[in-house]
A and B are shown apart, each in its own frame.
Chain A
């Protein structure tokens, strides 16, 4: 038999541990459920990751559809480039958030979801506004397209760096007088606060294990990568699974897996297998690049760099500072949850957080991945970097990529900066040793 080897052989399958496989299964199951929601008479709510009210939506038997996650999935599957171009054809500028353009482009091309099946039109757009203005514009565009109702849930920005009782009561009032009644009307389901309590109880349980996993990176070597691997870990809790038994199971399972890695003294799993020796421990700020995700990740693990903490894994909630959904204060805790997400925090809070991470996780320094098309994250990043550098005395570096626009990933440029940064850390260590 003749075997014809094409000029482009497929890259070897990425190595996944059991939890990653499971996570993937969950995501796929969710997309299948979403695609067939209308057949089962379920209503669909489009909503954003930061500050999403999944437990509340479940009270109305609604399925949630997260446009950012769709964009990410399309980025990972190398579909987003075409979608972004499509949106640009429709007149959206090169500078617009590429999540938005990927989403718009996907709609223009028939709204085929990442699983190859058409996504249903939303019945409601639930906008929990947490720090990014783009959200509003994005849903304005979607509203025009779907002509469905939009609910605006306003989260006050933590400009002063703290949550006040006024903020919470303002938000609870919105929930009572606006959000819940509208969701009742749209779904035809009566709101039952005990049902919400039950979901919140489940959320908190999963959140405990989730935090445990993220904090396991304090071990040396770190058993997880809290940025690249972290993307997988946040999927269920930031997506459609918070409040479900599935999420509890997943995080229990994940935790056991990580416990085992610690026991065996292992580092993180990478797409190429177990990571080699841990040489650099980093804190990363800013979203990753999804179109070249694996290549990007490889630039780290090839050098023995592991991310021990990242702000990105807090965009859907900052649980590691103690917040848990609370069944005893259901509406209040939904409000607190939204107030706490990373994008809703002011710059000094973000700086404190990064400084903390560097100290607590014994990191070698801070790396910022500045996203060209995300103004929400990028504003103030250089300033944050300087401040963290000053406070910790640890070196920091800056790279620039994009979320899901493959045209804005220059591998040579990124690699050059990363290598320089790793060597900078090395040099600093040698310098200190020399001085000692």
Chain B
């Protein structure tokens, strides 16, 4: 099967999309961008390939079709087992790496106890791993770094206390290792991992395979479909640092324009608020960019701005929107300058203004800036599509809807749940066209 890959190397996350010849997205993958874009690209596209396998399984198992109710459960269980296997493999890698760190001079004096502590911690991590991937288990993040990191801290604290050794030494070994592990794309044969996941699942629950057919055989046949990477296009800030040749690179402005067009063929105006920049893009009926404007060298009002605010308020980035939503009297914040916003924030807090009102005001300030960029690019025409990480923030979306309505009247506003993949989607379509042309 011929596939086409689009990779969007954003400043905070790297996304990959795998498309088939019928322009259908068969896989998506995401990972956090690191200083090493090449690894991020490899990890994201590996994730997309895994996701594509699940799409093929879904097709083979006829998930979603009447009379195949059981197969959805089977697939969900398979995914959990697969993720667990992946997690355990990376855990092995992490443990090994941690042990290697102990050879350094710094650890020499207490290498013995540290070694033992690590053994205990990893044993506990492994023991609880299955529960992390149990049916219905909630995970805050799907990135190994986040899951393993938070659990490691919990166990390390306990073990250090029990053994009476310095916690910071244990954490140090971890900190030194995690980046290395994270920068090592998962190795091993994918099909093999899937097979192990099936086996593990059947061992745990032999009834899992009862149902609408021979699931194991169906999986096996889906694994037999070769995913041929026909062409790849990269986009995003990291694109130039990748070993892509020129023909394999498209600017993210074009990719976002095309990606938005593919999601909503009727769209004419696209707003993308990314980590480092905000772009207003006008496209025609074929998804071709007609005009664009973006922020100048100053990134105030972009995604990072929310990050600063979150730090300033000692909150998680994802908590900002919900809190701002509780406000019905947004404060008037006039500065979109990151530094000023921080000062204004502290000022207002000290005056006793409510956090939610201030936050709502900050969201409004960001959107005001975005509106100015859009209007410079030619305004809003029906339909309007909002993409980028900030499109996930409900408070930002609320302000955007309000301001668009005030300035441009009734227009359809599209926000796709997969909007984070818009750039990668456009890139994969460029890849497909490069071959089709």
Contacts and interface: CB of A to CB of B under 8 A. Distances in A.
Interface of A: 372, 382, 386, 389, 395-398, 400, 408-410, 412-413, 416-417, 419-420, 423-424, 427-428, 430-431
A398 B288 contact: no
A413 B254 contact: no
A427 B254 CA distance: 9
A191 to B, nearest CB: 49
A395 B290 contact: yes
Contacts of B251: 416, 419-420, 423
Given A382-B376, A395-B290, A410 B254 contact: no
B102 to A, nearest CB: 34
Interface stretch (B81-89, B111-119, B291-299): B291-299
6 contacts: A395-B290, A395-B291, A413-B296, A416-B277, A417-B294, A427-B288
Contacts of A419: 251
B254 A408 contact: no
A423 B297 CA distance: 21
A431 B296 contact: no
Interface string B246-263: 000011111000000000
B interface, size bucket: 20 to 34
Contacts of A408: 297
A239 to B, nearest CB: 31
Given A386-B378, A424-B292, A427-B289, 12 more contacts: A397-B291, A398-B376, A410-B296, A412-B237, A413-B277, A413-B294, A417-B292, A417-B294, A419-B251, A428-B288, A430-B437, A431-B288
A389 B291 contact: yes
A400 B286 contact: no
Contacts of A397: 291-292
Contacts of B250: 423
A431 B286 CA distance: 8
A431 B261 CA distance: 14
A420 B296 contact: no
A423 B296 contact: no
Nearest to B249: A419
A397 B292 CA distance: 7
A353 to B, nearest CB: 21
Give 5 nearest A-B pairs by CB, closest first. A410-B297, A420-B251, A420-B253, A400-B296, A419-B251
Interface string B270-292: 00000001000000001011111
A424 B297 contact: no
A396 B291 contact: yes
A385 to B, nearest CB: 9
A321 B293 CA distance: 33
B254 A423 contact: yes
A409 B294 CA distance: 15
Nearest to B236: A416
Contacts of B297: 400, 408-410, 413
Contacts of A424: 253-254, 288-289, 292
Q: In this complex, which of A409, A424, A428, A430 has the most chain B Cβ atoms within 10 angstroms of its Cβ?
A: A424
Interface in B279-335: 286, 288-294, 296-297
Most buried by A among B237, B286, B296, B378: B296
Interface in B87-102: none
Nearest to A370: B296
Contacts of A416: 237, 251-253, 277, 294
B271 to A, nearest CB: 16
Contacts of B292: 397, 417, 420, 424
A420 B254 contact: yes
A192 to B, nearest CB: 52
A395 B294 CA distance: 16
B318 to A, nearest CB: 28
A409 B298 CA distance: 11
Contacts of A412: 237
A408 to B, nearest CB: 7
B347 to A, nearest CB: 23
Contacts of B294: 413, 416-417
Nearest to B433: A430
A14 to B, nearest CB: 23
Interface in B128-166: none
Q: In the complex, which of the residues B252, B253, B290 has the most CB atoms of chain A within 10 Å of its own CB atom?
A: B253
A398 B280 CA distance: 12
B74 to A, nearest CB: 44
Contacts of A400: 296-297
B405 to A, nearest CB: 24
A396 B250 CA distance: 18
A382 B291 CA distance: 12
A120 to B, nearest CB: 38
A93 to B, nearest CB: 16
Contacts of B296: 372, 400, 410, 413
A395 B254 CA distance: 13
Nearest to A389: B291
Contacts of A396: 291
A99 to B, nearest CB: 20
A372 B296 CA distance: 10
Nearest to B276: A412
Contacts of B252: 416, 420
Interface in B360-406: 376, 378
A408 B298 CA distance: 10
Contacts of A410: 296-297
A420 B378 CA distance: 17
Contacts of A398: 293, 376
A424 B250 CA distance: 10
Nearest to A302: B246
A149 B14 CA distance: 63
Contacts of A395: 290-291
Contacts of B291: 389, 395-397
B133 to A, nearest CB: 40
Interface in B172-186: none
Contacts of B254: 420, 423-424, 427
Nearest to B293: A398
A409 B376 CA distance: 21
B249 to A, nearest CB: 8
Nearest to B246: A303
B183 to A, nearest CB: 23
A275 B187 CA distance: 44
Among B237, B251, B292, chain A packs the most CB atoms within 10 A around the CB of B251
A302 to B, nearest CB: 10
B256 to A, nearest CB: 10
Nearest to B375: A382
A372 B297 CA distance: 11
Nearest to B378: A386
Contacts of A386: 378
A397 B279 CA distance: 13
Nearest to A426: B254
Contacts of B376: 382, 398
A40 to B, nearest CB: 46
B281 to A, nearest CB: 9
